[in-house]
Structure 1
Amino acid sequence: DGQFRKLELYRPKEVRRKKRTEIKFDLPHPRHTRMPVDQDWPSVWPTAQSFRPSVVPLPLRQGYVERGAPPGKFANLELMKIPNFLHLTPAHLAKHCQVLRQFCTEWPAGLETDEKCEEHFPVEVTDSDYCHSSPTIRDVRSRIVTLKIKLSRLQLDYHAKDKLLRLVKDRYDPATDILTIVTDRCPLKKQNYDYAHYLLTAVFHESWKTEPWEADKEEADMECFLWEKSRSEANLHDFVRRMRQSLGDEEAKGLEHVQRMSADCSDEEVRSVEEVEQYAEAVCEIHNGGESDYAWEKYKKSVCSLLGLGRDTPVGGEVQA
């Protein structure tokens, strides 16, 4: 045929390949295909565990594929490495509560409402726990402790309250009357909890201390007008005593608050008179709240009540129309 034949001294060996026997396993179908509709789920998933696609009867997808649908649940590492809450379904919680019911005690009597709870437990402490899908289970925010208490529950006088507000600065909210202390300096939550209570105790006792230089403050140095121990209070007490001593029983019939007092009335007895309290409140409102028609009208009513003057009686040169 015109082609040169090659001389083959050795015949090529044929490679013999042994055909492997294919072994077929009779694998069962996934469990979720064999579960009834009313399956007891707490028995299937009793505790926290990694995601198993053959058990969960949900068409879940997780992941990202460019220009494609997210991968399914089988052989999906994204579903396996994130935490799931399949062990905390309503059915699980109902069973847990039923088992724990035998260890529970009755709710304390007298704490039925939030107001009663706040009355008996005025200090509110808040902290947080965090859950992450990372190798570490620590979170620096979990050590933060927040303590809240209403300032009115501390029963402070004016000096102690004023000093405490200067110490806490912007941690006090005047709109809600709540003092908030946030501690995050210590590495452990228990340490920050103790530190928050220590700060509350420290500022409380420090606010009651009176420094020697505070005794040198005069009335003009005060931040606001204070009725207690003021010249206005001393003048009013002196005026009420002289009025009681100068008026006889017959002349004091129109002034019941004067008639009720003894001849040598003390300062405490004068302070307890309702008309004196109204006058003191009106004077403080004019000094601290500023002059207004309402403040002067309130001052006028308190003076008329204190002196036993009727509404039709002119006061201080007032002209009646």
Structure 2
Amino acid sequence: MYKPKTLNINNNAYVRTIWRLNSTAIGAVKDTEEEEFRVLDILKKKQRQERKTMKRADVQPDRADRMAPDQNWGNVWPGPRSFHPSSVPLPIRQGYALKGAAPPGKKANAELMKIPNFLHLTPPVIKSQCEALKQFCTEWPKLLNSNEAIEKHYPVEIITSDYCHGSPSIRNPLARIVTLRVKLSSLELDKHARDKFLRLIEYRYDEETDLVTITADRCPMRKQNLDYANYLLTACYHESWAFEEWERDKTEEDMEYYDWDKNASKRSLVQWYYRFQGKDLPEDVDYVGYDISEIPNGEQYKMAVNNLFNEGEKDETLLEYTKAVRKLFGLPDLDVES
């Protein structure tokens, strides 16, 4: 049977022939392309571009100039905020003023934005806020209609201070200080407790106003200082009522003040009164517990001697002592020229 001969592709001669044909065809294409030269345009003509026309928007007038005089200011400035010139229809000025010139206005003024303002606390706004808070408040007691009644029922007074300042922190260190004031007469103290209480508080008592003032500032928070001031008052009050055993051994020379009932002046007055009445002095008489109300003008004499020794020799104490002695002896009053 006849079989056709197959072509051997791997023949080297045949491969070289195909490569030459392909290379000739590619070269012919390149020659055809290189024959066409492009024109060199040195002076390029600028293409005309249409200019964009900017449409300017109509500038609205400032908001401050368009505000109505009868507007509700609480709606414009309802709460605390930084100063905004377009929201305030007022000619506000702030800053350093040059010689012969007015201070800078409110436009682009950084000084007005540095400090806090109270533009939200106008009288009408405060009134409206108070009216809104009335429903949560109780009626003021009718019996507290005077300062005397308030001091009687609420003797303790607490004084604090709030500060508003420009600072990175909203807290002011001076706001932690708490001052407690109370009248000494409102405290239930006997003679011994009163003297001990005054010695515990030292300089915090004012004799002219009868006020005891305790200031607390050692704690970082106001509430802590308030608790500490209440603690100091409570501790001093209860400590003044404590009676130590060593206090029984105190003699007349150990007393911090002059006690007329325990001194020789009362004993001398009682002895003089019995001699003046022509009576015999009882042997078992108690000079300390003797009631001097039986002696005419005895109470006035007692007060005069106490004031003379405790307050010192002054024109007032000496004059009071002179009047008390003359009345005790039945002498006429001394005429003193004013």
Please give the root-mean-square deviation of Cα atoms over the aligned residues, in Å: 3.4
- Distance (Å, rounded) in 1 between the aligned partners of 2:220 and 2:245: 39
Aligned mate of 1:53, from 70, 77, 85: 85
Q: How far apart are 1:171 and its partner, in Å?
A: 1.6
5 Å matches for 1:142-181?
142-181=175-214
**Alignment pair present for 1:199 and 2:221:** no
5 Å matches for 1:301-316?
301-304=327-330
- Distance (Å, rounded) in 1 between the aligned partners of 2:93 and 2:307: 69
Aligned mate of 2:129, from 92, 96, 105: 96
- Distance (Å, rounded) in 2 between the aligned partners of 1:126 and 1:44: 35
Alpha-carbon spacing, 1:18–1:216, altered in 2? closer, same or farther (3 Å): farther
Alpha-carbon spacing, 1:265–1:224, altered in 2? closer, same or farther (3 Å): closer
1:64-83 deviation per Cα after TM superposition (whole angstroms, max 9, x unaligned): 47676544323333323432
**Alignment pair present for 1:63 and 2:84:** no
Letter in 1 for 2:140: W
1:121-165 deviation per Cα after TM superposition (whole angstroms, max 9, x unaligned): 111110111112222111111111001112222243343333323
- Distance (Å, rounded) in 1 between the aligned partners of 2:326 and 2:175: 59
Query: TM-score of the superposition, structure 1-length normalised?
Result: 0.73
Percent identical residues: 49
**Alignment pair present for 1:295 and 2:321:** yes
2:215 corresponds in structure 1 to 182
Q: How far apart are 1:190 and its partner, in Å?
A: 0.7
Alpha-carbon spacing, 1:242–1:105, altered in 2? closer, same or farther (3 Å): same
1:228 counterpart SS class: helix
Alpha-carbon spacing, 1:235–1:17, altered in 2? closer, same or farther (3 Å): farther
For structure 2, the residue ranges without an aligned partner over 5 or more in a row are 1-40, 333-338
1:287-309 deviation per Cα after TM superposition (whole angstroms, max 9, x unaligned): 445484652341231244xxxxx
Q: How far apart are 1:240 and its partner, in Å?
A: 6.8
1:62 counterpart SS class: coil
Aligned residues of 1:60 and 1:73 also touching (Cα < 8 A): yes
Aligned residues of 1:62 and 1:76 also touching (Cα < 8 A): yes
Letter in 2 for 1:187: P
Q: Which deviates more from structure 2 when the two are superposed, residues 43-52 or residues 190-199?
A: 43-52
1:41 corresponds in structure 2 to 73
Larger C-alpha radius of gyration, 1 or 2?
2
- Distance (Å, rounded) in 1 between the aligned partners of 2:276 and 2:102: 96
Letter in 2 for 1:299: V
For structure 1, the residue ranges without an aligned partner over 5 or more in a row are 1-8, 248-263, 305-310, 313-321
1:222-276 deviation per Cα after TM superposition (whole angstroms, max 9, x unaligned): 33321233344456567778999959xxxxxxxxxxxxxxxx9998783554734
2:143 corresponds in structure 1 to 110
Alpha-carbon spacing, 1:174–1:12, altered in 2? closer, same or farther (3 Å): farther
**Aligned residues between the structures:** 282
2:299 corresponds in structure 1 to 277
Q: How far apart are 1:180 and its partner, in Å?
A: 0.9
1:116 counterpart SS class: helix
1:72 corresponds in structure 2 to 105
- Distance (Å, rounded) in 1 between the aligned partners of 2:269 and 2:247: 25
**Alignment pair present for 1:121 and 2:122:** no
